[in-house]
Structure 1
Amino acid sequence: MGLPRSGIVILICWLVGSGLAYGQSDRDELRFVEGLRQRRLFKLAEFHCRQQLADSALPAGLRTDLTLELIRCQAARAVHETAEESQRYWEQARQTAAEFQRQHPDDPRGLLVRVQDALTVLARGQWYRQQSEVLAEPVETVESARQYLREAARLLDPLHDEIVREIPLRHRASPSAGQLTSAELISLQHQVQFQLARVYLNRARCYPPDSEDRSAALTAAVDQLQGPLARIDENDPLIWSIRLNLAICMRLQGRWADAEELLESVRQNEASSEIAWLARAEQVRLYLDRAQTQQALAVFSQQRPPVGQAAAELDFAYLETCLALWQAAMQEDAETADTWRDRAAQVVRSIEQVHGPYWGRRGDLLLVRTVGLSRAGGHVDILSRTADGLYRQGQWADAVDAYEQAAGQALAAGQTEQGFELRYKAALVEHQQQQHPSASRRLRQLALDLADQPAAPDAHLLAAWNAAQQARSQSESLELYAQILEEHTHRWPTSATADTARWWLGRLRESQNRWQAAAQAYQAISRNHDQHALAWEAAARCWDQAFAASEQDPPPDEQTVQAAAAGFLEHTPIGSGQPQRTWTSAQRYCATQAAKLLLEYSIDGYAQAETILRTALDGSPPPEDDWRWQAEPLWILALAGQPDRRSAAAEELATSAWPTSDAYWTVLIGVHRQIRRLQPDPDQPLGIGLDETDPQPSQKDRRTVQQLADVQMTVVDRLWPQLPRLDGPQRTTLKRIRAETLLVAQLRDQAQAAYAELAGKHPDDQQIQKTHARLLLESDSRDAWQQGLDAWRRIAARQRPGTEGWYEARYAIAAALIQLDQPDQAASRIRYLQALPPGLDGTPWQARFQALLDQTSTPLQ
C-alpha cells in the first residue's frame, strides 16, 4: 500500500536540525497547528494559520512554515470530506501555494512550498486511486487518479532536477539567511525521489494486477526507491519508509519472500516507531495475499498502537482480515461466515467512530464491494452500508434496490423503525434525482404501510410535493396530488404536517375555482401554523366566492352556511365553549367572518350573529378600535334583521360616531341587502310594477321593508354630506340606494326626482331607466306619461327581440299609449306583435297583452 494511506505527506524528517533560529513560541505555534490538524480540527487550524499569516511582522521562515501547514490542513480536509465537498478543498490547497509564490517569489525557502504543492497533487491522485479500489464502477475514478498522478510527476521531476543542480552550488558557497543548506537540499532530494517512487507505486495500482502497465510502473517505483536507499545513512528515518514501500512493491510483484525480508528488517530496527506499526499492517496484507488468514489474524493478538495513522491502517487491515475470513467460511460454515460478516460490520462502525469519516467511507465501500452485493451478505447492517455505498457512487437504481432489500430484512426481523428509515432512504434517492412519479408512489406507500412511525406524516407530505412536481408537466396528475393531500389530512389530522397539507390543498382548490373545498381546507388550518392568518383570510374570500356563485340559483344551502360559520367559530373562545376566555386579534377576526356569513347568506342568522359579535365586543381584553369599527356595524345589521330589535338598531345607529365612512357603508349595503331579500323581484324596487299582475310582497314584508328603509335613510343622511368626496361608483351606489329608499318610503316626488337625475347620468343602466320610466307612468302628470312613453321606447330599442326585456318594453309602450288615450295605436302594436313570429302564443305575456287589448275593445287575432 502507498504510505501514508491518507495521502498527506508531512516533510519533517529533513526540517529537524535545519538551523532555523526559531524561538520556543514559534515552535509551539507550529506544534499547535499540527495538533489541530491531527485531531481533524481543520476549520480551527485553518483559521489560526490565516490569522497568523495576516501579521505583516511575521518572520519569513515562520510565514513559510505556516503556509506549509495551511496547505496540509486544506489537503487533509479534502481527504476527509465527501466527494462533492473535497474538490473545493483540494483547489484551496493549490490556491494557497500559488498565492504564496505570487506574493513571495524570492522567498529563500519557497522551494518547500512548491514541493508541498506537488505533494498535494500526489495526495489527490492517491485519494482517487483508493476510491477506485472499492467501487463497483471505477473507470471514471481511475482515470482521475491517473490524471493527477501524471501531473504530480510533471511537478516533481523538474523540482528534483532543480535540487540536484543547486546542491553543488551550496557546497561551494554558504547559504544566505533563511536559505536551505546543502545538507537540507540533499535530504529534500531524497524526499522528492521517494515521493516520485510513490507516484509510480500509485500509478501501478491503477492498472489490472497482471497487466504490463502495472508491471512497468512497479519496476519504475522500485528503481526510484533504490536510488536514495543506496545513498542515505542507516540512521536517516526516511530509510524505513523506503524499505516499507519497497516491501509493498515486492508484494504486488508477487515476490513474497523479498517482501517478508524487508518487513522483518523494519520490525527489528523500528519496533517502537509508527513505521513498525505500518509494517505490521503490511505484513497482514502479505498473509492475506498468500491466503494465510489465520496467520493474518494472529498479528492482531499483539500490542496495537492507540491512535494515529498507524492505528487506522492496522484497523483497516483487520477489516480486510475479517472479510477474508468471511469469504473463506462462506462455502463451508454459514454460522462462522455470519460471525465474521457481523464482525466486519462492527469494525467499520468502529473505524468511522475512532478514525473519522474518511476511513469510515473507505471501510463502507470495501464492505460493499466484498459483502454487500453478495447473495450471502443479506444482513441488515451490511445491506444498509451497501446501499449507502452505491448511493455515494451515484448508482441510484442499485442503491434504491439495496435500501429496499435492507428494509425488507429489517421488517422481517421486527425492526420496524429501521425498516421505515431504510425505505425512506430508497424513496429519498428518487426524490433527489427528481424522479417525481416513482418517488411519490414510494413515499406514499411507505407512509400508509407504516403509518404509526413518527416520520410517516413527513414522508407522506413529501409524496404530495413530488406529485405536485409531476403535475407541472402532467396536468392530469393534479387530482392525484389532491387525493394525497386529502388522504394526509384524514390519516394524520393532528400531525405537525397536517396544516401544511391543508394549506396546499386550499391553494390548489382555489386555483381551480372550487371555492367551497378551498374554503374548508383553509378554515381547518390551526392557529399553530405559520400561515394561519393568511389561511383564514383565504377561507373568508373563498366562502364569499362560493356563496356569491350560488346566491341566485340555487340559493346558498342553510346547512352549508351554518357549517362555514362554525368553521370560523372553532378558532374562537365561543367554539371552544369558553367565551369568557381571553380573545386574540385573530380570534376576533374569525368571529366577524362567522357573523358576516350568517348576515349575508343565512336565512335567519341575525340573532346568532348578534350573539357572536356582542360576545367578541365584550370579550377581554377590550378590542382594538380598528376591529371594533368593523364589528359594531355588523352588530347593528344583526339587530336590524330582527323585528323586535330594529328599534335598538336605529337607536345605536343614531348615537354612533365612527370616524370612518367604511363603517356606515357596511350598514348601508347590509340593510340594502336585507330589503332586496324581501322584494319579490330583487331588481325591482318595492311598490313599482307594470301592473297589478306583477308580484307583490306580503303586508308583513312590506312593513318590514319600510322599517328597514327608515334605518337605511338614517345611514344615507350620515353619508350624504360626503357625496362630493366619493368616487364615481360609490357616488352612484349612494344615489341609487337613496332613490330606492325614497321610493319604499312612499316619497314618490322625491324618488322620481332622484331617479330622473340617475337616468340622465346613466343612460346605459337599464334597471335605472326602467324604474324611472315606471315612475313617470305612475305620476299624475300627462307630460310625465309622455316622458314615460318616450323612455320605454328608448329602452325597447336596446332589447333583443323575443327576450323578456323586449316583451316588457313593448307591453309598457302599449300601456302608456292607452294611458295617453291612444287605444288604437296600442291595439295596432299588440296585433303586430301577435302577427310577428314567433307571436305571443304560449308566452307568459299572452294573457297580459290580452288584458291590455281588452281595454281597447279590440279582440286579439
Structure 2
Amino acid sequence: MKFVCWVILMVGCLSIIPESPAQEREFVIVNQDDSEHRYFESLRQRRLFALAELLCQRALNDPAIRPPFELLYRIELARTFRDHAQTVPLNDSKSLWEQAFQAVNIDKLYADRYQAEVALLEASRVEQLFWVLQLNPANTELRQQFEKLSASAIQQLQKALTASKALSGAETIAPEVTTDEIQLALGRCYLRIADWNSSNASIRTRYLSLSKSSLKEVHRSILSQEYYLDAQLLLLTGYRLGRQSEEFNKTAAAILSGSTSSILEQRVAEERVRYLIDQAQYSEAATLINELAKKQNPLSTRLRGLRLKALAELSVQVRLKGDEELANKLVEEVRLRTSQLAAEGQAFEAQLASRYLSDAVAVQTFGPELAALVNQARTAVRDGDFTTARQTYEAAILSAQNSGRWEQLIQLAREVAEVYFRGQHYSEAATQLNSIWMSSPNFPGMDQIHLLWITSLEKVYSAQPTLEKLNAYANALADHLQRYSQRETALDVRWRLAELTFARRQFADAIVEYRQIPSTHSRYFDAQNRIFQCYDYLLKTQEAENRELLSDVVSLANRFLTSVEWQRVETASQVEAILQACQFLLNFETGLHQSLPETFRELQALFTDLKNSDARFQVEPELLAKWNRSLTINRGILLVQLGRSQEAFQLFEGADSLTNTQQEAMFLLEQLAEIESADSQTEQILGSISLRVIARLKLMTTSLTPQQANTLKRYEAEAYYKIGRLSKAIPIYQELVQDLPVNDPLVARLTALLVECNNQECLEALYTLWKKKAATTRQGELNWHRARYELANACLRTGRIEEAKKIVSVTTLLYPDAGSAELKQRYAELSRLLKNAK
C-alpha cells in the first residue's frame, strides 16, 4: 500500500515539474589562438551547416590557397558534414558522411593529420550507429554495420595513435589533434562494443578492459580538461557495465568533487539512473530524476528519456501488483511526455521512449501472469542463461495452452524456438512446437508455428542424419503444402522441398519446384541458380536426350538475363545466378549470344562499384576476385565463339586455334586488352596469349590499315608490359607517340613506363621525349605548360638541376597561372624540390 501511494505522489510531482528542451554545450574550453576554428564551431552549434559548408567550399575553391589553410578548411568542412549527419535520420545521413570522408581522404602534405581526422570521423559514425541501434536492437543489418564500422574505426584510431606524437605540437592553424583526443575516441569505441555485447560476459569484460586502458591514458591538463572529463564519465559507464559498484561510486564522487556545473551533475546522474535501471530499481531511478528536476531546470533530454524508461518499467511492476488503474496512469504519463519530446524535435529520445512503452505494453499483450514469465525469460536470454529462459518459456506456454490463449501462444512459440535453437536443443524444440501446433492447427498464425516445427525437424536431421529423420522432415514439408498452400509460409516450404529434392539428386523434379518460386520472393535468385545447376547435371548425364532440354535451358537463361533490373542487384545470390546463366549460354547456346555483351558490361560496372567502401552491398575481396576471374574467362569464351567453359584457360593458352582470321585476332586482342586483373599470374597469361595471337596475325597475308597497324602495336606493347618485358614495350610506345599530342593517354603511358624502368637509359629517353614535345607544342597552350612541367621533372630525374630550375623559373615568370590551378600547384611543388636538389 505504501508503494502504491508513493507512486501516485510521484506521478503528481512529475506532472507539475516544467521541462525545457534547451541544451548547453559541455566543458567548452577556448584556445585563444584558434579563432577561425571557434567561429566554425559556433556555426555548427547553431546548426548553420549550410553557411559553414559554403564558407569552407569558397575558401577551398581559391586556387591560391596555401596547404595550411587547405588543411584547416578541409577539416572544418568534414566536421560540418559530420555534425550535420548526426542531426538527420540515419538513411539521410549517408551522403553527408560520404562528403565528410571525401573532404579529408586525401594523400598529400599533412597526410598524417588528414588520416587522424578520418579516424575520428569513423569513431563519430560508430557513436551515431550505437545510439541508433538502441531504437532497433534486433536489426541485423544495423548490427552488422556497427560491428564492421567499429572494427574499422579502432584500426584507424590505433594507426592515428601511433602517429599522434608527430602531430602533437605541430605548427598548424588547423585544430590540433592530440593523443588524449584519440585515446578518448578509442576508449569510447571499445566501450560501445562492450555495451552492445553486455550479455556476453567474455566479450564485455575484454572490451571494458581495453576501454579502461585507453581512457586512463587521457590526462588532465588545462588544454584537455574537456577530454579528461569525458574520459572520466566514460569510465563511469564502464564501471556500471562491469557492475563494479565501488569503483562506480568512487569515480562519480571524484568527478563531482569541487564542481558546481549542473551539466556535469546531470551527466553523472544519467549514469546513476542507468545503474538503478540495470538493477531493476525503477522507482529509485524515477525518484532520483524527480529530485534532480526540483533543483535543476531544465533537465537534459537524455535524463528526460531515462525517466520515461523508469516510468514504463514501473508501470509493469505496478500492473503485476494488480493495480491496473495506476499502471494505466503511468503508461499515459509516458505517452504524454513522449509526445512532448517529439513535439520539441527530440526525435531520438521520443522514439526510444516509444520502445520502452512498447515493452511495458507487452503486459497487456500477455496479461500479468504470462508477462511476468515472459519478462523473466527475456531477462534470462539477455543474461545468457538459456536453461532458465527455456524452462520459464515452457511454463508460460503451458499456462497459455491451459487457458486457451492462442494468440499469446503463437508469440511465445516464436520466442522459445529461438532459445531452443541457440542452445541446439532441436529435438526438444520439435516436441514443444509440435505440441503447440497440435493444440489448435487451424487458428490464424499456426502455419508459422508449423513452419518453425519444420525448421526444428531440419535441424534434428542435420545434427545427426538418419533416413528416418529425413523422411520425417520430407513428410512435414508435404503436409504443410497440403494444409497451408495459400499461406505466405507455403513459398518458404516450397523452397525447402526443392532443396531437399536437389540434395536427393532428383534434378528434373527439383526444377519443377524451383520454378514455382516467384520473382518477388527473397529466394528467387537462389532458385534460378539452382535451376541452372540442375540443367547442367541433366545435360551432362542425358546427352543423347538433351536436344529439347538444351533449347529449354537456353531460352530460360536468355529470358532471365534480359529481365535483370541492374539497379536492384544487391545480393551475392543475384550475381551468382547471373554468372551461372552466362556460363550456360556460353556452354550451350549457338549464335551471337545477343544478351551477353550487355550483361558483361553491367557486371563489369557492378564489380567496379563493389570495390568502393560505399557500394550498394559488400562482398569479401576473395569472392569479388573470383567473380572478376569468372567474368574474364566468360568474356574470352564469348569473343572466340567457343562453347565449353571448363576449357577456357586451355583455349586461352592455345590461342592459335582462336585466331584463324585477322578479324578474329583483332577482336580477341581488343577484348584481352580491356581485361584488367589484380592477379599478376592472370596478367601474365593474358599477355602471353596476346603475344601469341599477334605473332600469328603477323604471319597472315592480309594487310592492315595504318590505324589497325598502330592499334596492333599498342596491343603488342601492352602485352609485353603485362609479362614484365619493359625493354620490349618501351621502343614500341616510343614509335607510337612520336606524332601524338601531349595529353594523349599513350604519352602518359610511356612516361609512366620510363619512370618505372628508372635506369639511366630510360631516364634519358624520358628527357628526350619531353624535350621534343615541349619544342613542338605551341607556347602558352595548356599542353605546352604540361610539356614544360614534364621536361623540368625529367631534368630533375637526370641530374640537370640548373636546366630544370631555369625551365620552372622562366615558365612561372611568363605565365604565373601556369595554365591551370593543378599545374600551378605542381610547379610550386617541383620548385620546392629543386631548391633542395644538389
TM-score above 0.5: no
Looking at both structures, which has the greater relative contact order when contacts are Cα pairs under 8 Å and sequence separation is at least 6?
2
Q: Which has the larger radius of gyration?
A: 1
Q: TM-score under structure 1 normalisation?
A: 0.40
